[in-house]
Structure 1
């Protein structure tokens, strides 16, 4: 399993984001339920968001985000950074797998 930090950059004004945010969060919750998304939230700066995810490949992760309402509505673009979680809290052992 590959792990990624996914960084979004917002492309539209806050009012436009707010109109789509509920659908976006519901979509990410579905990703949590499927075991793809570990956690997600907006950046403190308000410029975008951060999502920790896992999948078989970057292509799989990109396909997941291609259906995100923020992408479909032109509200955000994503940057994918693959990383290897060699250190983690014990509570993440099942999610990260062996180091």
Structure 2
């Protein structure tokens, strides 16, 4: 499982201009099963996405398609972790420690 932390690198008006494309991209990733949860950080200086993929290379590829990246308004920090305990609703994403 992955935590994707977005940090804005541009003023909010530049970020807001790309929000519609970013939201459409988010919707696509939810439909494909990559994203489990997402939202803005407080204070509003970026966002967080909880994601799943077969490996880090795949999640990096997914993140690189974010319109925020193409517009140059954010940077990603990707943290991989082993989700060995989850809420019942996320049981299908539980992982075992090796």
Task: Give the shorter-chain TM-score range.
Answer: over 0.9
Contiguous gaps of at least 5 residues in structure 1 = none
Matched, 1:16 2:10: no
Taking structure 1 as the reference length, the TM-score comes to: 0.92
State the Cα distance separating 1:97 from its structure 2 match: 3.8
Contiguous gaps of at least 5 residues in structure 2 = none
Equivalent-residue separation in structure 1 for 2:55 and 2:77 (angstroms): 14
- After TM superposition, the runs of 4+ consecutive aligned structure 1 residues lying more than 6 A away are none
Equivalent-residue separation in structure 1 for 2:10 and 2:48 (angstroms): 17
Taking structure 2 as the reference length, the TM-score comes to: 0.93
Q: Which of 72, 75, 78 pairs up with 1:77?
A: 75
* Deviation readout 1:60-97 (Å, 9 max, x if unpaired): 11111111100010010100100111111111112x14
Equivalent-residue separation in structure 2 for 1:15 and 1:88 (angstroms): 37
Matched, 1:67 2:98: no
Q: Considering fraction of residues, name the structure with more strand.
A: 1
